[in-house]
Structure 1
Amino acid sequence: MATECETSGDGELGDPSAMEITEVPILPPPVMSDENGCADLATEAFAQGDTASFSPPPATEDEEGDLPADFERLWNAAHDNAHDFTSWTDLLQYCEQEGHTAASQRALMAFLGRYPLCYGYWKKFADVERRAGNNDKAAEVCVQGLQSIPLSVDLWIHYINLLLGTLDMNLPESPKRIRSVFEDAVVASGLDFHSDRLWDLYVEWEKEQGNIRNVTAVLDRVLKLPTQNYSTHYENRFKAHLSSYEPKEMLSLEEYEEVRALCRETQKAERAEQAKEKGNEMPPGEEEPATPEGTDSEELIQRIRDQVLSRREKIHQENENEVRKRWNFEDTIKRPYFHVKPLDQTQLRGWHAYLDWELAQLNKDADDCNKDSKETDADAKEDTEGPESTAQTQRRKEECQVARDDHRVRFLFERCLIACALYEEFWTRYIQYLETRSVDEVRVVYKRACLHLPSNPNLHMRRATFEERHGDLAAARRVLEALDKNRPGLVVVRVRRAALERRAGQLERSEALLQEASNDKLHLNLLELEVSSELCSSAEAVQKCVTRALAAPLAPHTKIILSQRGLQFVEEYSNSIQSVLSFYEDHQKLLKELGGIKREAENKDKGQEKVVKSEDAPADDASTQAPPTDPQVPITVPPPPTMDMSAQSGGYGGYSNWYQQPQYGSYGYQNTWNYNQGYYPPS
């Protein structure tokens, strides 16, 4: 990983002043150093929207037999209600109480495949592996977690403490690895307003290593960052550090020589001024006392300390101003971590306001840079001597300032999208910000957004449009196909797929997609048409209509309704008991075949209702704003009302409006009803 300060061959960090105009790293996520852990398995799976690759392998017979008593029940409950967060946490809590390693591993792996931003459970997973004696596996889990949530200060600290507790620090490569992880950590999450604990840990570890210059370099970096405990870093840590060591030991060689030369010149100038005021030269033997070669007098050391402190005081004041600008925004953020529960309106407005302000700062600095660049270009024509003119240096600093502001904007978006991962509006804002900067980065953000909102049609269709616009038709097809499979029955998705193929010149494929769409409403309306026709000619037509519908790719609950209505019709109007019994047998077989699938869908629906409304709910108030998890559930409705048979003397028209009730939004059916079940023998 490219770090802010490079490490020299002797284990010392380079000159921190070099950070003034160096390239700012791009977020996210950081590429983990090869020596720091495993390959990036989780990130690839999550970026591709493939959480299945993150699921645990099937348990062996021995494992199944050895699992705790209630594991299977809670495991099935979590999977039957896959979008019910509480079902998952109940399972995880049970495994933790039982202290069963295999059960915890299976449950945590499955849970984190769905909720990768829950950093606390990555920590629990690593602890499970460590207690089992799998230190390498524990480190691998931490790395996978950090690839999923690289801004998590807590997870970085957990990973570092794990390495500190398991690595043999007597080996020369161990300190190098720890320092490399610290660098990965501060680059990835050190800009967070609450990252002070990470910086403090880094400082203390470098102090334990006895490399005083590294301590100074780390402190110099954090003194420039607007964090919550910014004052403590300066008033307590840096001042104490400065007074505890001689400047030659704590400063980089470049800064030490620069400050020492400046202080010596100032000292000489003051002595000359004093002599001039007295009107005569100093008598022989009263010259400045000599000091041994390579040493500084106490007076010079104090001057150097004062100069160093003066420089840091200026940096501290500038940083304090940055903290003051951000404090109110940060104070609004009460839940900076991920959770499926909706955020209140105050926090949502706070995130938007914070982003607005940070973007305004970037635009302001960009405008100032463009204005100043015209002046520096004019100066550069006059000042062309030397390897780099003053005007060119100024231009580079201005460009670096804009790059740093861009980095801050990206970092704030990433922080926001941890707490607001289930809010489409923030993903859309981030995508709009990146669209003018990098197509590849937009593609990555789209993948991440669709992972967290897998059933949001608008988001996925915009992603497909993006891929098509940039020439990747295969990717656009994959996105729409996955959405069509995940949200069956959405006409707009099928129409979009057909339109994509038409624009690609695949007319036959476009026509086939439209012909394949068997819509629920189409079959239900056809059935209504047949049962409303002349009774003498409609029995066979109704049978064909039902048979055709059962062969179509319709949802299980829709097929059950259609079969049930067909059974009602033949019961009322068929002249043959064999026809009724035949239809009844077919209906019973269908119930056995599809009933389990339908109940599973209904369980998903119930689990979803426990959390919040779907992703498409309007953002009117705090109670309905958030789609807290993945609402991949069909819309179900109450059973149709009982018909008054005495009112049907005019024919089958009494059933003509059975499906047109206002609440019958998507032709679902919650309660299985076997019409006249008591009349016929069980099948």
Structure 2
Amino acid sequence: MHKVLNALVGVTAHQLKMSANLDKPELEVAPSSEDTAKQAESNQETAMVTESKTEVVAKTEKTEKESELDKYWKAVKENPNDFTGWTYLLQFVEQENNLKAAEEAYDAFFSHYPYCYGYWKKYSDMEKKFTDIDRALAVFERGVKAIPLSVELWLHYLNFYITEFGSNEDGEEKIRKLYERSITAAGTDFRSDKLWDSYISWENMRHNKKKVTQLYKRLLSIPTQLYSHHYDNFKKHVMENHPKDILSLDEFLKLRQEVVKAGTVKVDEEDAGAEVPPGEDAPPGVDAPPGEEAVGGMADEDEAKKLREWILEHQETIHRLNEDEVSKRWTYEEAIRRPYFHVKPLERAQLKNWREYLDFEIENGSHERVVVLFERCMIACALYEDFWMKYAKYLEQHNVDGVRSVYQRACTIHLLKKPYIHLSWAAFEERQGNYPEASDVLSNIEKNVPNLVMVSMRRISLERRQGNHENVENLYQSYITKAASPAIRSFYSIKFARYLRKIRGNVEKAREVLSEALEKDKKNEKLFLQLLDLEYQTQPIEEQRVLDVFSNALKSDLSADFKVKVSQRRMEFLEDFGTCIQRITDAYDEHQKLVKDHNSDRKKKHPDSIDDNHAPPEKKHKHDKYKSETNGSSATGDASSHHTSADANTYNYHWPSYSNSYAPYHSHYGAYGSYGSYYPS
């Protein structure tokens, strides 16, 4: 207990002492120079560490951003047709405000999807924000060249140009030229009304009434969606302005002359015989007082009214004709639900409407309107090769360069992997004598979509038609070597052998090609038939070579049905060309054994399939006929009927079966153009 009290007393005493010391003023001790140096060094180290940490954080964030960007790029590089992936990439570069990355992304995007007008504006806005006006202007120029029918893109471009260059000394003239370019490119589009309204409004703001009149005259003869709205505005324009203010001088004087002439004739008829009092004529050079007029003339207001009536009367006729043209197209235009580009497929009804609209315009419209409609269609149907081919076919009658432009846009931008449009382009270039371009077109589609037999054969045919036989043989050898399957290899081998036999006359090499193919594809019936056909056509025919082919086929692992057909054909060959009767009889015996074994095997597998009730109708008919003939003969026997029966029994080669055996071969190669159905790509 005493120890605890002593401890408490000690603590209290210590606290009192500390309190006393706190009440005394502290003496400030000046730091030494050494301490100051250490403190400065410490502060510097702290600053360096902080700066280093900041740099590390910044680099880490930058690395993370670059990693994200690489991921977006990877997606679109692996699948350039992933439109959604492209939109994610563009959104990312816009958010990061990285101009260099944005330029790279936009340029790559537009190489695949140039018809997306909204992204052209976004690209221009980024250039304007981070660089200068000229680069933004260049982007708009690229955009309107890529999609010249985009009214929306032209309006964005015009608004940009007016804002940036409208105050320049020559700004008005340049803006007018840009408007004229836009009207030339897109002004005949059925839905170009906003572009015309913008041009007219801009001229009205500058009080260029005469130019406004000229614009209306051009517009009112073009079938557009708001044709009636434009005509009402034109009438308002005429009624609110004096004719001399809205017409050119030549037009005004000519029209006034006609109106005054008509008015003078009317006065002369009403006042015929009336005399003018002498001295009533105004002195030459002196204007008549307001409200008065010379004899035979008109008051200004009456004249203006008459002029307006003449203007509107003339324009009414044009308006009626234009209204008729609009009504012809209205149904087609109303059916267009998606006039802009999108990667999503169009409905069948939409595609049908476009086809019918194009057919109508080709039959009834002018060349200019047909081209404009095709260009509109290409925006909405850019991913459908039949529309591009229809466009190219139409232009062949008018403009060769235009055809080439259509093919280039289709094959190098929108339809990189569509073979038929490439084949069509290659054929067009070949017709123009442009063989190198035709070869390049076929090579490009082959790189984009390898192993297409139709493209390979067209390349070979192109070289053959030019007489480049060395290239032909090299291509055949290359395709045979690189064939994706035995069936395709055999196909090329058969084609190559035919070429060597028919074009080059090299039977030995053709035989070698087919023999090599048989070594690798021993169960291919067509190879045997082709080799057999080759030997048949050799002049003079070599019996032993033909028999060797028959023998190899019968010894192979081919189907029993095929062997029976081959055996039948061997007997026919020996009957026609054989030099030894023993071979004929041996072949007959072998054939009978082969047929017997084949029928026995079939009966084991399908016991009920080989009898009279299940025989083919034609065979059953012949069998019944034969039985009726033999049963109907006399007891002593009719020599002629017996001889006929003996011949039929002796040389029964089953000709119906044989004649059908070769049919699959001919039917397949007769339709060799339909590669897709037989050789999957």
Q: TM-score, normalised by structure 2?
A: 0.58
Moved more, 501-510 or 413-422: 501-510
Secondary structure at the aligned position of 1:418 is classed as: helix
- 1:166 deviation in Å? 0.8
CA contact 1:338–1:418 (8 Å) conserved in 2: yes
Partner of residue 500, structure 1 = 462
Within the candidate set 210, 220, 229, 2:226 is matched to 229
Structure 1: distance between partners of 2:65 and 2:99 = 9
Secondary structure at the aligned position of 2:318 is classed as: helix
Partner of residue 242, structure 2 = 246
Superimposed CA distance per residue, residues 570-603 of structure 1 (whole angstroms, 9 cap, x where no aligned partner): xxxxxxxxxxxxxxxxxxxxxxxxxxxxxxxxxx
- 1:70 deviation in Å? 2.5
Structure 2: distance between partners of 1:439 and 1:120 = 32
CA contact 1:68–1:98 (8 Å) conserved in 2: no
Within the candidate set 170, 176, 181, 1:179 is matched to 176
**Structure 1 residues 232, 248: closer, same or farther in 2, change over 3 A?**
same
**Structure 1 residues 482, 264: closer, same or farther in 2, change over 3 A?**
same
Which runs of structure 1 show a deviation greater than 4 angstroms over 4 or more consecutive aligned residues?
Answer: 61-69, 279-288, 523-526, 665-668
- 1:519 deviation in Å? 1.0
Superimposed CA distance per residue, residues 283-321 of structure 1 (whole angstroms, 9 cap, x where no aligned partner): 6688893479x9971211111111111111222122111
CA contact 1:216–1:251 (8 Å) conserved in 2: yes
Superimposed CA distance per residue, residues 438-484 of structure 1 (whole angstroms, 9 cap, x where no aligned partner): 32222221212212111111211121122112211111111111112
Aligned pairs for 1:262-411 (under 5 A) are 262-276=258-272, 280-281=274-275, 289-290=292-293, 297-362=300-365, 405-411=366-372
Query: Aligned-residue CA RMSD in angstroms?
Result: 2.9
Within the candidate set 245, 253, 259, 2:255 is matched to 259
Amino acid corresponding to residue 245 of structure 1 in structure 2? N
Aligned pairs for 1:560-639 (under 5 A) are none
Structure 1: distance between partners of 2:378 and 2:299 = 53
Partner of residue 519, structure 1 = 483
Structure 1: distance between partners of 2:246 and 2:122 = 39
Structure 2: distance between partners of 1:157 and 1:428 = 31
Partner of residue 433, structure 1 = 394
**Structure 1 residues 76, 306: closer, same or farther in 2, change over 3 A?**
same
- 1:342 deviation in Å? 0.5
More helix as a share of residues: 2
Aligned pairs for 1:30-109 (under 5 A) are 70-109=68-107
Structure 1: distance between partners of 2:109 and 2:142 = 14
- 1:422 deviation in Å? 0.9
CA contact 1:75–1:91 (8 Å) conserved in 2: yes
Amino acid corresponding to residue 423 of structure 1 in structure 2? Y
**Structure 1 residues 84, 439: closer, same or farther in 2, change over 3 A?**
same
CA contact 1:334–1:347 (8 Å) conserved in 2: yes
Structure 2: distance between partners of 1:667 and 1:428 = 24
Structure 2: distance between partners of 1:325 and 1:355 = 13
Superimposed CA distance per residue, residues 624-667 of structure 1 (whole angstroms, 9 cap, x where no aligned partner): xxxxxxxxxxxxxxxxxxxxxxxxxxxxxxxxxxxxxxxxx999
Within the candidate set 187, 209, 212, 2:209 is matched to 212
Superimposed CA distance per residue, residues 134-169 of structure 1 (whole angstroms, 9 cap, x where no aligned partner): 211111111111111111111111111111111152
Partner of residue 536, structure 1 = none
Partner of residue 28, structure 2 = none
**Structure 1 residues 500, 134: closer, same or farther in 2, change over 3 A?**
same
Is the aligned partner of 1:118 residue 2:116? yes
Within the candidate set 138, 146, 159, 2:136 is matched to 138
**Structure 1 residues 177, 66: closer, same or farther in 2, change over 3 A?**
farther
Structure 2: distance between partners of 1:511 and 1:465 = 21
CA contact 1:520–1:667 (8 Å) conserved in 2: no
Is the aligned partner of 1:188 residue 2:185? yes
Is the aligned partner of 1:202 residue 2:199? yes
**Structure 1 residues 324, 286: closer, same or farther in 2, change over 3 A?**
farther
Secondary structure at the aligned position of 2:485 is classed as: helix
Amino acid corresponding to residue 200 of structure 1 in structure 2? D
Structure 2: distance between partners of 1:335 and 1:524 = 43
Amino acid corresponding to residue 431 of structure 1 in structure 2? A
Amino acid corresponding to residue 412 of structure 1 in structure 2? L
Superimposed CA distance per residue, residues 504-562 of structure 1 (whole angstroms, 9 cap, x where no aligned partner): 12111211112222112139999xxxxxxxxxxxxxxxxxx9xxxxxxxxxxxxxxxxx
Structure 2: distance between partners of 1:63 and 1:110 = 25
Structure 2: distance between partners of 1:209 and 1:302 = 25
Secondary structure at the aligned position of 1:114 is classed as: coil
Amino acid corresponding to residue 468 of structure 1 in structure 2? E
- 1:436 deviation in Å? 2.2
- 1:492 deviation in Å? 2.6
Partner of residue 26, structure 1 = none
Q: Point out where structure 2 has 5 or more consecutive residues left out of the alignment.
A: 1-58, 282-287, 491-519, 521-677
Structure 2: distance between partners of 1:338 and 1:427 = 15
Structure 1: distance between partners of 2:488 and 2:456 = 19
Structure 2: distance between partners of 1:316 and 1:477 = 52
Moved more, 295-304 or 349-358: 295-304
Structure 1: distance between partners of 2:139 and 2:393 = 33
Partner of residue 436, structure 2 = 474
Structure 2: distance between partners of 1:142 and 1:62 = 37
Amino acid corresponding to residue 318 of structure 1 in structure 2? L
Is the aligned partner of 1:490 residue 2:452? yes
**Structure 1 residues 219, 342: closer, same or farther in 2, change over 3 A?**
same
**Structure 1 residues 69, 511: closer, same or farther in 2, change over 3 A?**
closer
Structure 2: distance between partners of 1:297 and 1:182 = 36
Structure 2: distance between partners of 1:217 and 1:423 = 40
Structure 2: distance between partners of 1:501 and 1:309 = 65
Q: Point out where structure 1 has 5 or more consecutive residues left out of the alignment.
A: 1-60, 363-404, 527-544, 546-664, 669-683
**Structure 1 residues 163, 411: closer, same or farther in 2, change over 3 A?**
same
- 1:224 deviation in Å? 1.0
CA contact 2:453–2:679 (8 Å) conserved in 1: no
CA contact 1:68–1:100 (8 Å) conserved in 2: no
Structure 1: distance between partners of 2:239 and 2:279 = 33
- 1:63 deviation in Å? 13
Compare CA radii of gyration and give the structure with the larger one: 2
Identity %: 42
**Structure 1 residues 667, 179: closer, same or farther in 2, change over 3 A?**
closer
Is the aligned partner of 1:453 residue 2:453? no
- 1:68 deviation in Å? 6.0
Amino acid corresponding to residue 357 of structure 1 in structure 2? F
**Structure 1 residues 450, 304: closer, same or farther in 2, change over 3 A?**
same
Structure 2: distance between partners of 1:228 and 1:416 = 17
Secondary structure at the aligned position of 1:312 is classed as: helix
Amino acid corresponding to residue 337 of structure 2 in structure 1? K
Partner of residue 285, structure 2 = none
Amino acid corresponding to residue 342 of structure 2 in structure 1? H
Q: TM-score, normalised by structure 1?
A: 0.58
